[in-house]
């Protein structure tokens, strides 16, 4: 039960997301219609502060972070799929949980869908193109080209 | 006192309050817990715990256990705020109110429109399918808005920048092609 303290972090994170309206379907629509700077401001200022913090942590505390590996087909197709889900439900992963807490009960169906989507990915994982398969293919192509 | 309560709990925060707080949160989580912000691995954890099938993807769920407790907190945070903020004020632009009215979303209140977030079969189907795309995409892309768009872009990781562009392409497709179709 050493992980129980993370409930506290979750409450704080949820509080910030709700109060700045990052969980609002309307705000997400506003963002995708380019009608307000609000959500761009939230994302860009959040990224900027985190970026400066990461640089300082790295320089003065020696804390390094791991970047997610580049997997082009996965990043692109997965990203677009996630984006469509984000646009429809007006909530990404954390806001979906916040909405359930706010007793917007249809959000539970979206979460159920997300879990089904995760199952679909787990089953299909080996058949889906990820970066390394993509690279293998190009390697094969170049090697046949050379042997020819 | 009442004014302070309004500012903290009732009036929508401007972006320059919430955005930097998210950034500070990311850094504190890293300093105190040595954890990189991420949410969607919680799906992997929950599925691994309930899966009747043994799939490779569901091996070693415990490394994501902290995210499961984190999302329990996110749910709790929503529940707590629902009691602290009885009269919620919405802060979207006039322009968006007009646009949404034109496509059939007439009442802009709360966090989501009643036209989409309701219990009719068609709405549940739409939200459920949106959820499927959300969950599948997050796991296939190896992260969501938290892990890729915020944490990953702050690292200037190429994978995260490309995925974030993908998020926006998908979001624009949904906004301009799918939402008008389902209303």
pLDDT in tens, A92-107: 999 999 999 999 999 9
Q: Which of A39, A70, A102, A53 is closest to B148 using CA atoms?
A: A70
Return the pLDDT at A141: 46
For residues B87-103, average pLDDT: 87
pLDDT > 60? residue A137: no
**What is the domain range of residue A127?**
4-147
Three-state secondary structure readout of B5-34: HHHHHHCCCCHHHHHHHHHHHHHHHHHHHC
Task: Give the range among A132-141, B101-110, B136-145 with minimum mean pLDDT.
Answer: A132-141
**Domain total for chain A?**
1
* Contact present, A110 and A91 (Cβ < 8 Å): yes
Here the tokens at position B72 are 């329990």
Could you report the predicted ipTM of this complex, rounded to two decimals? 0.95
Interfacial A residues in 107-146 facing B (CB < 8 Å):
107, 109-123, 125-126, 128
For residues B18-46, average pLDDT: 96
Under 8 Å CB pairs connecting chains A and B tally to 501
How buried is B2 (Cβ within 10 angstroms: 0-12 exposed, 13-18 middle, 19+ buried)? Answer: exposed
For residues B94-105, average pLDDT: 92
Contact B137 A17 (CB under 8 A): no
Here the tokens at position A127 are 């058949």
Give the DSSP letter string of A45-87.
HHHHHHHHHHHHIIIII----PPPPP-HHIIIIIHHHHHHHHH
Q: How far is A102 from chain B (nearest CA, A)?
A: 5
Return the pLDDT at B6: 85
A14-31 confidence digits (pLDDT tens): 999 999 999 999 999 999
Q: What angle do CA A21, A88, B67 make, to 5 degrees?
A: 60
pLDDT > 60? residue A143: no
Contact A50 B91 (CB under 8 A): no
Chain A residues closer than 8 Å to B22 by CB: 13, 16-17, 20, 42, 46, 49-50
pTM for this model (two decimals): 0.92
Task: Give the range among A72-81, B33-42, B107-116 with minimum mean pLDDT.
Answer: B107-116
How far is residue A34's CA from residue A39's CA, in Å, rounded to a whole number? 10
How far is residue A6's CA from residue B9's CA, in Å, rounded to a whole number? 22
For residues A110-119, average pLDDT: 97
B84-93 confidence digits (pLDDT tens): 887 677 788 9
Return the pLDDT at A144: 41
Share of chain B above pLDDT 70, in %: 99
Looking at chain B, which residue has its C-alpha nearest residue A108? Answer: B128
* Contact present, B17 and B23 (Cβ < 8 Å): no
How far is residue B49's CA from residue A108's CA, in Å, rounded to a whole number? 18
Q: How far is B1 from chain A (nearest CA, A)?
A: 19
Share of chain A above pLDDT 70, in %: 88
Q: How far is B126 from chain A (nearest CA, A)?
A: 8
pLDDT bin (cut points 50, 70, 90) of residue A132 is low
For residues A2-6, average pLDDT: 93
Q: Position of tokens 């966090």?
A: B111
pLDDT bin (cut points 50, 70, 90) of residue A53 is very high
Average pLDDT, chain B: 93
pLDDT > 90? residue A34: yes
Return the pLDDT at B122: 93
pLDDT > 80? residue B135: yes
């Amino acid at each position: 039960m050493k992980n129980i303290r993370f409930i506290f972090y979750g409450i704080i994170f949820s509080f910030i997301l709700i109060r700045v309206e990052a969980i609002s379907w309307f705000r997400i629509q506003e963002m995708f219609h380019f009608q307000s700077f609000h959500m761009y401001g939230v994302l860009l200022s959040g990224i900027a502060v985190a970026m400066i913090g990461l640089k300082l942590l790295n320089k003065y505390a020696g804390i390094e972070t791991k970047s997610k590996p580049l997997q082009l087909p996965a990043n692109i197709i997965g990203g677009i799929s996630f984006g469509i889900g984000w646009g429809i439900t007006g909530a990404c992963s954390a806001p979906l949980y916040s909405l359930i807490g706010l007793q917007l009960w249809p959000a539970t169906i979206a979460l159920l869908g997300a879990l089904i989507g995760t199952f679909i990915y787990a089953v299909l994982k080996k058949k889906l193109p990820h970066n390394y398969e993509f690279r293998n293919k190009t390697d094969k192509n170049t090697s046949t080209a050379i042997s020819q | 006192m009442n004014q302070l309560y309004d500012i903290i709990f009732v009036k929508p925060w401007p972006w320059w309050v919430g955005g930097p707080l998210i950034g500070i949160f990311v850094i504190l989580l890293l300093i105190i817990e040595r954890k990189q912000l991420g949410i969607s691995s919680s799906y992997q954890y929950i599925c691994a715990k309930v899966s009747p099938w043994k799939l490779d993807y569901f091996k070693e769920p415990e490394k994501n256990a902290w995210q499961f407790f984190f999302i329990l907190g996110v749910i709790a945070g929503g529940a707590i705020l629902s009691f602290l903020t009885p009269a919620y004020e919405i802060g979207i632009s006039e322009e968006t109110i007009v646009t949404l009215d034109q496509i059939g979303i007439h009442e802009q209140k709360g966090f989501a429109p009643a036209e989409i977030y309701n219990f009719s079969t068609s709405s549940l189907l739409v939200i459920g399918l949106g959820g499927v795309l959300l969950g599948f995409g997050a796991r296939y892309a190896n992260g969501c808005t938290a892990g890729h768009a915020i944490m990953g872009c702050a690292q200037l990781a190429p994978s995260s920048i490309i995925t974030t562009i993908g998020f926006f392409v998908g979001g624009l497709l949904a906004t301009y092609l799918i939402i008008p179709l389902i209303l």
